[in-house]
A and B are shown apart, each in its own frame.
Chain A
Amino acid sequence: MMTSTGEAVLFWVLAPAMVLGALGLVFARKAVYAALSMIFVMVCLAMVYVMQQAEFLGIVQVVVYTGAVMMLFVFVLMLVGVDASTSAVETIKGQRWIGILMGVGLGTLLVTVTARAALPETVGLDEANSETNPAGLARVLMSDFVLDLEIVATLLVTAALAALVLTHRRRLTPKIGQPERAAARMLAGDHPVNLPAPGVYARHNAMDVPALDPEGNPIEASVSRVLRIRGQEHSLDTDVTTLVATRDAAELTGDHGTDTAAERGGQNDDTDAATTEGEA
């Protein structure tokens, strides 16, 4: 059965985009980008489901996959550390070529098999979906697959428990509370109080700019560690300090140079947005 023109157009738009997004999974350098491509593919897949008269699955795809599963992935990425960027150097000898060969071979094989398969005439789901797709699905699910449903429910509960057990850490050392932490900090001596806040409070309204000490030197520790590792902090040495250096001491203490600050703030806002997107 030939599909409608609208569906054909949508398919030819979505399919290449999905393949490109999937390839992003293979080639993206940073895990966050890979996760983003994955989300993209999944959302497109949801559309394809809807197009294929599987409205319920399309919704579930969005809710479960993009909403829950991929969010979990991104969350774990945060936990594991955004700095865990992968080096391009292959550690297993020949693995890259074997992998590419196997991937291409598998793809070729699967496509060949599909091409050689004699598909029957498409029936379509109009009849099955006569009482709307969710109702039809529910009828099948609750009649033919009711036992499977129960088993899967058990599996889900077990998995939740398993995740609890796996990530649970037994406390081996005495609990460190606020008093102990304070005492340790005093004992160590280098930072008795909070780390300095970033430049937001110094003179630049941005997270990625270090604060300045009273003598006008940047305080590295004031920028979030994550930003520093990612290389997303703005060094005072390059742009900001030149700015400082052009002014004399009187200007430093008196005039704040609002226009430049606003300009920089705007730039920083852009970067911020990108960062947020990347983390999502």
Chain B
Amino acid sequence: MLSMLPVATEVAPAMAAAGFWQENAWLLVAAPLVSAGILLLLGRSADRWGHWLGLLASTLTFVVGAGILVDLLGSPAGERVREVDLFSWISTSELDLVAGLRLDPLSLTFVLLVTFVGSLIHLYSVAYMENDPARRRFFAYLNLFVASMLLLVLADSYLLLFVGWEGVGLASYLLIGFWNHVPAYATAAKKAFVMNRVADVGMIIALGLMFSTFGGLDFTTVLAGSADASEGKLTAIGLMLLLAACGKSAQFPLQAWLGDAMAGPTPVSALIHAATMVTAGVYLIVRSGPVFDGAPTALLVVAIVGAITLLFGAIVGCAKDDIKKTLAASTMSQIGYMMLAAGLGPIGYAFAIFHLLTHGFFKAGMFLGAGSVMHGMNDQVDMRRFGGLSRYMKITWLTFGAGWLAILGIPPFSGFWSKDKIIESAFVGEGWQPWVFGTVALLGAGITAFYMSRLFFMTFHGKQRWTSEAEGTGPDQHPHESPILMTLPMIVLAVGSVALGGVLAIGDGFVTWLEPVTGHVEHHAPVIPVPVIMAATIVLVLLGAFLAWRQYAASTVPVVAPRGSLLTRAARRDLYQDDVNEGLVMRPGQYLTRSLVFGDATLVDGAFSGLGRTSSGLGRALRGLQNGFVRSYAAMMALGIVVIAVVVLAVQG
């Protein structure tokens, strides 16, 4: 039914014609890494110019990435998958692995997203973190993240990808806990780290399975070999990869860390926890497309996980009052869309990446907008204490509005082009699946419209509900527009939010661009006619937005959250996901640890320290004999001689 070009597994032979940019592709990883090293090693002496070095390194990667893109665009579609070998990494009889970079449309899409949005956020951070004494360290971590993320997407083997995968995990951990003097933030960092480690177990098992099945870990071997491998093994690999993706991309059931990850500085939330790192899971699924093609069950599970997370995030997003946590829930939900699309198989891969790209722009833009709002409102995050800010922060309001319209999927904003395609694709198929997935996607769009509009109206419209000294509710608020260094990235991202989707959708340009990786897919008709789907989507979106307007812009918003319905209360607590995790995993784990520690302390330590105590007591008792007096020693010798003589005599009889 689906015909797919097997180009993903073939590398263009045109290596001889490697261009200037391609030869310097290693700079993509090396430049930010070196910059991070310099910033961390130089310490305070780099405080004055450190952020500019970070920005420079990030910009350099963007330039290199753009150079490679131009290079790639100039060559025919068949030669757009290239591999750049760097060095022989692991060389054993069983495994011969070359560390190399894979330059293809998919990885380049990511490279450009990461470097472009990353550079903008670097620029934004220069101003945002201006008063932070540890700004240099912040930029070092950001550069480390950029390097790791680029390694992740450029790696030509699963093992090298795993290195980047862990690198972004580390950077994420460091940045969530950037203000680790606040215990709650440090805990949030730990939570993210631990949940990611759980997912990494899946990744490691997947690596092991791949090695045992295909005898290699590079993409070429694995993806080519998956055509012949048994379905059982492919399903196992696919599910393990899905587990890894769930952790990294905050998908059900490993999504709980993302909300807490908002403890990090806002630029971090924008770059890592909205635009790039959390989408690594989607990248992994799409990159492993051939594996999932051979494992329909795993693919179905991917779609189900995506659908669940989509609704989950949307519902949680409706109840949160913290502006960043609402955005985090929205991110979760949007990645759910991407996973759903990826779970639909080759038909959805391109749309998943398309939505990922547009989402990277508008979500990053909105996060930066949220950071700008916080910047002007004394770092306040409670939306019930905002309101009416549109008058004071014109640029923020406009740019945020562009992001808002994009995520709602209002034509012709970016989100419309990608999200609508996903909803359409969700309706493609046979049996119960299109109906369920399609409905979920459709419903999700409506809910998304509601909570995003709620956020938008509560923040920028309605009455002013600011805290004031007089009421004793907090500091007096004097909202103001952020400096140019902050608004500039927001404007650029807003432009992307408005136009990127439309530009890339012209003549299915982006989908065609990705074809060397995702394969060419014939168009399939959904179970419901496309115009009907489109119309239903728009109606639902408008309905959601209207409800939000009626409740949060037209009427007064209580400054203290009302008790709310059962669902609201559950959503406020992330649908009890934390409680489930605590009850099912954390508590038993703690009991297990505690009993093990107890056993260790009493039995093992007791035995060994008892042994130690015995011998040291013995030593202490015997030390009395070693008093250093020659005469005592002489007496002891005499005693010894007497004893020996007596024994000898006694034996002789």
Which residue numbers of A lie inside 8 Å of B, CB to CB?
92, 95, 98-99, 102-103, 105-106, 109, 112-113, 116
Tell which of A92, A95, A106 touches B641, judged by Cβ atoms closer than 8 Å. Answer: A106
* Closest B residue by C-beta to A92: B629
Q: Smallest Cβ distance from B69 to chain A, in angstroms?
A: 82
Q: How large is the interface on B (under 10, 10 to 19, 20 to 34, 35 or more residues)?
A: 10 to 19
Q: What are 22 A-B interface contacts by the 8 Å CB criterion?
A: A92-B627, A92-B629, A92-B631, A92-B632, A95-B629, A98-B632, A98-B635, A99-B631, A99-B635, A102-B635, A102-B638, A102-B639, A102-B642, A103-B638, A106-B638, A106-B641, A106-B642, A109-B645, A109-B646, A113-B645, A113-B649, A116-B649
Complex Cα gap A92–B630 (Å): 11
B window 602-653: CB within 8 A of A: 627, 629, 631-632, 635, 638-639, 641-642, 645-646, 649
Complex Cα gap A112–B645 (Å): 11
Extra contacts besides A92-B632, A102-B638 (20): CB < 8 Å? A92-B627, A92-B629, A95-B629, A98-B635, A99-B631, A99-B635, A102-B635, A102-B639, A103-B638, A105-B642, A106-B638, A106-B641, A106-B642, A109-B642, A109-B645, A109-B646, A112-B649, A113-B645, A113-B649, A116-B649
Complex Cα gap A103–B634 (Å): 11
**B627, B635, B639 — which one has the most chain A CB atoms within 10 A of its CB?**
B635
Interface of chain A, main secondary structure: helix
On whether A95 and B645 interact (CB within 8 A), knowing A102-B638, A106-B638, the answer reads no
Complex Cα gap A95–B632 (Å): 7
* Closest A residue by C-beta to B629: A92
Q: Smallest Cβ distance from A198 to chain B, in angstroms?
A: 40
9 shortest interchain CB distances as A-B pairs: A102-B638, A98-B635, A105-B642, A92-B629, A102-B635, A109-B645, A106-B638, A109-B642, A99-B635
Residues of chain A contacted by B638 (CB below 8 angstroms): 102-103, 105-106
* Closest A residue by C-beta to B631: A95
Residues of chain B contacted by A112 (CB below 8 angstroms): 649
Residues of chain A contacted by B646 (CB below 8 angstroms): 109
Q: Smallest Cβ distance from B621 to chain A, in angstroms?
A: 16
Residues of chain B contacted by A105 (CB below 8 angstroms): 638, 642
* Closest A residue by C-beta to B641: A106
Residues of chain B contacted by A113 (CB below 8 angstroms): 645, 649
Residues of chain B contacted by A95 (CB below 8 angstroms): 629, 631-632, 635
Cβ proximity bits B106-142 to A, threshold 8 Å, 1 near / 0 not:
0000000000000000000000000000000000000
* Closest A residue by C-beta to B646: A109
* Closest A residue by C-beta to B645: A109
Q: Smallest Cβ distance from B217 to chain A, in angstroms?
A: 72
Residues of chain A contacted by B629 (CB below 8 angstroms): 92, 95
Q: Smallest Cβ distance from B606 to chain A, in angstroms?
A: 37
Residues of chain A contacted by B642 (CB below 8 angstroms): 102, 105-106, 109
Complex Cα gap A230–B632 (Å): 30
Complex Cα gap A199–B37 (Å): 91
Complex Cα gap A196–B606 (Å): 77
Residues of chain B contacted by A116 (CB below 8 angstroms): 649
* Closest B residue by C-beta to A105: B642
Complex Cα gap A92–B624 (Å): 12
Residues of chain B contacted by A106 (CB below 8 angstroms): 638, 641-642
* Closest B residue by C-beta to A116: B649
Residues of chain A contacted by B635 (CB below 8 angstroms): 95, 98-99, 102
Residues of chain A contacted by B649 (CB below 8 angstroms): 112-113, 116
